[in-house]
Amino acid sequence: MSNSSKVIHPQHLLNLPELNIAIFSFLLNFLWEMQQMPFFQVSSEFSCTDKVINCTVATVGDVGISLTAFWTVAIMSKSRQWFRQLNWWQLSSFILVGVAITIIFEALATSVLDRWEYADVMPTLPFLGTGLLPLLQWILIPPIIIWFVQRQLFNVRYKDSRQS
């Protein structure tokens, strides 16, 4: 077999920025979703399993938002590796895309689609009515996701260059 043939090894999949974004987004957002449950109206008939399932479904949506934000910045940067030499506008854009999508989804889910309601303890933004915790989620978690992805993929590159 020649050296020029391309064989995709499973460990190389872990080098894909999108997969790293998805993994770290899922882990961090799932923790957030579970912690913010008391700020949403939840039926007393919901079991612990029901709550975990709902948070998992919401987290899958969060991963979709993270990937959309990632690809938006990748298109603007003309590189899927934009996070390697991160600048302020890329991180700001990554956060703002998530915030914008969240405002739209929260508005749809709490009014038009009637998918969920905020509990009385949920602080909301005036005029928009968007819950403060979902907005904070998309301000605080994206920089942490990028930090983890940078560490993960920088360490892979560093190890690969030492083995050569």
Q: What is the mean pLDDT of the chain?
A: 89
Asked if residue 3 is part of any domain, the answer here is no
Instruction: Give the pLDDT of residue 10.
Output: 67
Q: With 50 as the cut, is the pLDDT of residue 1 above it? A: no
Burial class (CB in 10 A: 0-12, 13-18, 19+), 75: exposed
What pLDDT is recorded for position 35?
Answer: 96
Kindly state the DSSP code that residue 60 receives in the 8-state scheme.
Answer: H
Q: Give the chain's domain count.
A: 1
Quick one: the chain helix, strand, coil %, rounded to 5? Answer: 70, 0, 25
Between 46 and 35, name the one with better pLDDT.
35
* Category of 78 on φ-ψ map: left (φ > 0), alpha (ψ -120 to 50) or beta: left
Q: Residue 127's pLDDT band (boundaries 50, 70, 90)? A: confident
Type of residue numbered 21: I
Q: Is pLDDT at 158 greater than 80 in this prediction?
A: no
Does residue 5 sit within a domain?
A: no
Give the pLDDT of residue 118: 94
8 versus 109: the higher-pLDDT residue is 109
Mean pLDDT of 56-70: 97
61 domain residue, yes or no: yes
Q: How far is 143 from 97, CA to CA, in rounded Å? A: 13
Counting residues of the chain whose pLDDT is more than 90, the rounded percentage is 73
C-alpha 16/C-alpha 19 separation (Å) is 5
The tokens of 21 are what? Answer: 């974004």
Q: Tokens for 69?
A: 């934000």
Residue 108 lies in a domain: yes
Give the domain extent around 81.
18-38+47-159
> Domain for residue 4, yes or no?
no
